[in-house]
Each structure stands twice: as structure tokens, then as C-alpha cells.
């Protein structure tokens, strides 16, 4: 299944950025930011669910999916600069930003250096829990998440992991672990929703509450009986949270 009806290439961030796009041209833009080692592909069900009301675009950040990256792995700031450059190059200022997992960290980092680009924000499964900031703990939690995900996610994510490669994956993972997201939350000046799957072992309820409380205009929503990757496992529920944010 591919919810994206097309793709676009943009010269931005020192490379040729690919983005999957869906929905009618001219509709309210929504931008999806992928998590660690992933790409636009796992946003397909969400894009499908939003395509009637929004122009959904999911860029592959440099080094991931179909966008070639620089030889050196980009850190959180590097990725958020790349996102900022792409948002500007494609004229998508102040649109709704939906992040999954580590994508949330990139969106929050964007608020620090490019607040003017920021629109309403949906942080779905924001990482990394302040109380479990080691590779072993996060690895164990990601592993524990697997049984709760739909099996069809496996091939999609494995393909993307192969595209980014083990070195970039590991280095990005290290950058993500070292990112103090809780200290940046107060710069997110736009309406923000933290979305958590009820059974998500990666983002415990306490951490999700802490993130929501740290955001100036934040609130928490929980999707019952789902886990970490709601854009794949619960696209309709996630879409119904995004819809009211479309101006």
C-alpha cells in the first residue's frame, strides 16, 4: 500500500531532497517528519487518511530514504537545519508538522532556530525519555515495542534501515540520545499536541505528560490499544487529531 500519490524533488540542504506527497494541490499543507532510520514510506497510511483535506508531504531527511546525505552523519541540529531549509525552499512555512519518535526531536529543535517556520505541532511518541537515556534502555524499549506493531511495518522499516546504513543509523541514534529535548520544549510557541499510544513502551505515560506540560500550549492525547508507530498502526485516529489543527 502506498498512500502517496506522487513525489517531489527539491534542491535544498545541500542535496536533492525527496518527499512523498499526497492530497490536492493548494490544500492545507501538512509535513511529516520521520524517526530514526525511517523515511516517508511509513507515513503512507497517515497520508492516505489525510489526503481528502490536506496536502501531505513527508520529506526524507538527508541520508535517509531516497535523499542522499553528506558523508558525515548529521546531528539533531543538522537535521533540523535541513528541515528548515526544505520548508523554506518548498514554501511550507507555518504548516502543521507531524513528527514520529525521533522526528519530534527535530521539530522541537526547529523551534529554537527557526520559530517563524513553525506551525501547529503534533508530537507523536516523542523520544527520548529523560529517565532512560542510554542505548541499552532505548534499545530494549524499541524491542519491547515490536510485538505491538503491525507486522506489515517490518519490511517497510527494514528497507529504510538498509537505505541509511548501519553507520548512519548508529551515529544518529547516539545524537538522538544526547539531545536534551525537555530543555527546548518551552520554545515551541505554537499549539502542540503530544500523542501517545496507550501501549507504547518507548514513551511511558509519565514522560509524555512531562513533555506536554513542558510545552507552552501543549496537551496530551492517548490512542487506546496502540503503541509507538501510530502513523502506521492507527492512521485514522492520528488523522482525527491532526484535522482540527488545519487552519
Q: Using CB under 8 A as the criterion, which residues of the chain lie in contact with another protein when the complex forms?
A: 9-12, 14-18, 66-68, 70-72
Strand partners, 193: 122, 219
Quick one: 18 or 175, whose CB is closer to another protein?
A: 18
Closer by beta carbon to another protein, 61 or else 111: 61
- Give me the least distance between CB of 156 and another protein, in Å please: 17
Q: Are strands 54-59 and 28-33 parallel, antiparallel or unpaired?
A: parallel
What span, in angstroms and rounded, lies between the C-alpha atoms of 203 and 47?
23
Please count the CA atoms within 13 angstroms of the CA of 142 that sit on its side-chain side.
Answer: 18
Nearer to another protein, 15 or 138 (CB): 15
Q: How far is the CB of 114 from another protein (least distance, A)?
A: 20
Distances in whole angstroms, Cα of residue 37 to Cα of each of 167, 169, 206, 227, 242: 11, 6, 26, 18, 24
Helix (H) or strand (E) holding 17: strand 15-22
Parallel, antiparallel, or unpaired: how do β-strands 218-223 and 118-124 relate? unpaired
Least distance between another protein and beta carbon 216 (Å): 35
In the complex, the smallest distance separating the C-beta of residue 82 from another protein, rounded to whole angstroms, is: 11
| Shortest CB 162 distance to another protein, Å | 11
Query: Among residues 17 and 106, whose Cβ is nearest to another protein?
Result: 17
Of 3, 188, 12, 214, give the one whose Cα is nearest residue 110: 188
* Identity of the residue, 65 or 119, whose beta carbon is nearer to another protein in the bound complex: 65
Amino acid at each position: 500500500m502506498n498512500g502517496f500519490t506522487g513525489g517531489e524533488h527539491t534542491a535544498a540542504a545541500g542535496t536533492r531532497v525527496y518527499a512523498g506527497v499526497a492530497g490536492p494541490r493548494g490544500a492545507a499543507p501538512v509535513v511529516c517528519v520521520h524517526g530514526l532510520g525511517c523515511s516517508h514510506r511509513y507515513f503512507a497510511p497517515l497520508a492516505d487518511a489525510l489526503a481528502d483535506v490536506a496536502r501531505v508531504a513527508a520529506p526524507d531527511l538527508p541520508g535517509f530514504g531516497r535523499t542522499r546525505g553528506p558523508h558525515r552523519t548529521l546531528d539533531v541540529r543538522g537535521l533540523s537545519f535541513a528541515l528548515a531549509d526544505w520548508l523554506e525552499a518548498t514554501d511550507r512555512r507555518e504548516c502543521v508538522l507531524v513528527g514520529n519518535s525521533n522526528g519530534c526531536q527535530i521539530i522541537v529543535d526547529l523551534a529554537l532556530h527557526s520559530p517563524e517556520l513553525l506551525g501547529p505541532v503534533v508530537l507523536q511518541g516523542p523520544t527520548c525519555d529523560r529517565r532512560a537515556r542510554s542505548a541499552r534502555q532505548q534499545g530494549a524499549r524499541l524491542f519491547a515495542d515490536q510485538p505491538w506493531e503491525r507486522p506489515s511495518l517490518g519490511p517497510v522499516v527494514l528497507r529504510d534501515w538498509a537505505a541509511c546504513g548501519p553507520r548512519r543509523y548508529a551515529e544518529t541514534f547516539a545524537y538522538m540520545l544526547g539531545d536534551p529535548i525537555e530543555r527546548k520544549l518551552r520554545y515551541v510557541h505554537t499549539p502542540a499536541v503530544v500523542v501517545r499510544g496507550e501501549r507504547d513502551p518507548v514513551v511511558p505515560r509519565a514522560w509524555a505528560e512531562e513533555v506536554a506540560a513542558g510545552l507552552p500550549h501543549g496537551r496530551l492525547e492517548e490512542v487506546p490499544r496502540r503503541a509507538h508507530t501510530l502513523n502506521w498502526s492507527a492512521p485514522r485516529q492520528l488523522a482525527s487529531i491532526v484535522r482540527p489543527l488545519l487552519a
